[in-house]
Amino acid sequence: MSNALAEIRTQVQAALAAGVPAAKWADVYDGEDWNDEDFKTIRSRIAMKGAGIYVRLPTVQPDADGAAFDHVEVYIQLLCCAAAAADRETAAAAAEALAWSAYETLRDAGKVPAFMHCRWMLPQFGTEHQSANCTIVSLTMGSAVDLADLDESTSTPDTELPTLAKSPPVDADRLTLWDSAAGWARKYVAWSVVKSTLKTYFDGLYAGIVHAARHASAGADPVTPAAIGAAESGHDHDSDYDALGAAAAAQGNALTPAEYSPGALGSTYAVDWSASRQVQLLGTVSSALELTKGAGWPAAGNMAYVLLRLTISGTPTITWTVVDAWTSDAPAAAGTYLVHLRQVGGTVYASAEEVQ
**16-26, pLDDT tens digit by residue?**
888 888 888 77
- Is residue 271 in some structural domain? yes
CA angle 235, 239, 245 (to 5 degrees): 90
Model confidence at 160: pLDDT above 60: no
Q: Which domain holds residue 315?
A: 257-354
264 and 142 assigned to the same domain: no
Angle between helices 2-19 and 147-154 (to 10 degrees): 60
Q: How far apart, in Å, are the Cα atoms of 330 and each of 4, 10, 50, 241, 326? A: 45, 38, 21, 47, 7
6 and 139 assigned to the same domain: yes
Number of domains in the chain: 2
Model confidence at 192: pLDDT above 80: yes
pLDDT digits (tens, 9 = 90+) for 60-71: 555 455 444 556
Cβ atoms of 42 and 184 closer than 8 Å: no
Last residue of a domain, one of 153, 177, 195: 153
266 and 142 assigned to the same domain: no
- Is residue 104 in some structural domain? yes
- Is residue 204 in some structural domain? no
Last residue of a domain, one of 124, 153, 182: 153
- Is residue 186 in some structural domain? no
What is the rounded average pLDDT of the residues 85-92? Answer: 79
Residue 195: band (very low, low, confident or very high) from pLDDT cuts 50, 70, 90: very high
- Is residue 273 in some structural domain? yes
pTM for the whole structure? 0.39
Q: CATH number, domain at 120?
A: 3.30.70.1700
- Is residue 187 in some structural domain? no
- Is residue 203 in some structural domain? no
Last residue of a domain, one of 125, 153, 181: 153
- Is residue 197 in some structural domain? no
146 and 16 assigned to the same domain: yes
Q: Which residues pair with 324 in a beta bridge?
A: none
